[in-house]
Amino acid sequence: MTVEPRVRRYATRSGIRIYQLPVETFPLHVNNIYLILDGDHSTLFDVGSGTPQSVEDLTRGFAEVRERFGERVDVAAVQHVVISHSHIDHFGFVAYFTRETDADVFIHELDARVLNNFEERIVLASKDLRVFMERSGLKPEARQELEEMYRFSKHFFKSVELDRILRDGDRIINGYVVHHVPGHCPGQICLQVEDVLFTADHVLSRITPHQSPASITPFCGLEHYLGSLEKIRRVEGVSLALPGHEEAIPDLGARIDAIAAHHTRRLNQVLEICREPAHLVEISKRLFGPKSGYTRILALEEAGAHVEYLFQRGELRIANLDELSRESNPVIFYETRRGATP
Ligand SMILES: [Zn+2]
Ligand SMILES: [Zn+2]
């Protein structure tokens, strides 16, 4: 039997109330949705996936906020919805708010097209991913996972029109500050409400946020991500960070240090592995062990982000350049340049 998730309450320096609602967005995958109550303003930060379970958990979370904390709140009456980034577990339920309520829905300009033109995004992303997979050394049978993902996503979400576009440094709703932090996702934002920073998937308390190469999606990749970590480190006056999954982060600086150190170690591991020429499937297997299904794609993307970062800096070179010049899209082998250190 699983333990029932419970709402947690936080407050900013001046007493703005924040409720953390745990929502199971996909089986065994839990997101934190935040309800921010500030004078006359009610704001949701992320909305969950929109699966029946996700919607049920959100509805139950609101009921708990009413019953345990005595707030007069209702999902249908939320005034502002801010989407942290365009991953389906965070935005999938957004159509409910755009079509059936009066809420203003905000998203960063680099992620708006994913929601406004989801069909285009899915077709393009799956093509770019296929090129990446072919180069990685994945066998054709294994690439079928991709086709399945594509089919699943296509039916899961239909485009919506969003018109509240966010940019870095914007102040919205009641002076909440938008920090654009590309890396995990092109339009990833953190939202600052007084001394509380909502970090979404940019900084998590236990897991190191997933990385994928900029070659698949521009504004992703380690170059952007590590820069965005430093950017968030410099935000002043943060006493609590609230992430999109897992628990609150009391010491954001220490958590940023740990994540940055993790990536440095992983970059070193890749240089070590590539002392002998290796393609991405091998590198991924040596880093993460054997994986199957969707987790294999995630592992390949993660390995690919590290290889890309080292390659951009000339620390890795292509070992089979002749083959690459002759054939249209062969498997690429990477090799550590002599004397390279990250
Ligand atoms: Zn995400
Ligand atoms: Zn997430």
**For residue range 268-310, what is the model confidence (pLDDT) as tens digits?**
999 999 999 999 999 999 999 998 888 888 999 999 999 999 9
Q: Total structural domains in the chain? A: 2
Residues 71 and 204 in one domain: yes
In a domain, 131, yes or no: no
The rounded Å distance from CA 264 to ligand 2 centre is 23
Q: Of 110, 75, 112, nearest to 91 (Cα)?
A: 112
Q: Of 292, 297, 221, nearest to 263 (Cα)?
A: 221
| Helix/strand/coil for 29 | strand
Residues 192 and 235 in one domain: yes
Judged by its nearest atom, the ligand closest to the C-alpha of residue 89 is: 2
- 313 or 4, greater pLDDT: 313
| Helix/strand/coil for 214 | coil
Residues 276 and 242 in one domain: no
Q: Which helix (H) or strand (E) holds 304?
A: helix 293-312
Cα(336)–Cα(25) distance, rounded to whole angstroms?
40
In a domain, 90, yes or no: yes
Per-residue b/e over 268-284, b at no fewer than 16 CB within 10 Å? ebbbebbeeebbbbbbb
In a domain, 136, yes or no: no
CATH number where 88 lies: 3.60.15.10
The rounded Å distance from CA 331 to ligand 2 centre is 30
315 and 336 in contact (C-beta within 8 Å)?
yes
Beta bridge partners of 190: 179
Judged by its nearest atom, the ligand closest to the C-alpha of residue 26 is: 2
pLDDT at 1: 43
The rounded Å distance from CA 210 to ligand 1 centre is 7
In a domain, 126, yes or no: no
Q: Which helix (H) or strand (E) holds 61?
A: helix 52-69
Judged by its nearest atom, the ligand closest to the C-alpha of residue 87 is: 1
Residues 205 and 276 in one domain: no
Q: How far does Cα 75 stand from its chain's mean position? A: 24
- State the pairing for strand pair 196-200/189-193: antiparallel
Average pLDDT over residues 48-72: 97
Tell me the two tokens of residue 76. Answer: 């249908």
pLDDT at 242: 98
pTM attached to this predicted model = 0.95
Query: Any idea of the CA torsion for 280, 283, 285, 287, to the nearest 10 degrees?
Result: -130
Domain that holds residue 163: 8-117+159-250
In a domain, 86, yes or no: yes
Cα(22)–Cα(103) distance, rounded to whole angstroms?
21
The rounded Å distance from CA 201 to ligand 1 centre is 5
The rounded Å distance from CA 182 to ligand 1 centre is 11
Beta bridge partners of 194: none
CATH number where 286 lies: 1.10.10
Residues 112 and 193 in one domain: yes
Q: How confident is the model at residue 128 (pLDDT cuts 50, 70, 90)?
A: confident
pLDDT at 266: 98
Phi, psi of 281 (to 5 degrees): -60, -40
In a domain, 314, yes or no: yes
Task: Please identify every residue whose CB atom is under 5 Å from ligand 2, which is an ion.
Answer: 89, 201
**For residue range 146-182, what is the model confidence (pLDDT) as tens digits?**
777 777 777 788 899 887 999 999 999 999 999 999 9
Residues 230 and 289 in one domain: no
Beta bridge partners of 179: 190
Tell me the two tokens of residue 107. Answer: 């998203």
Residues 84 and 187 in one domain: yes
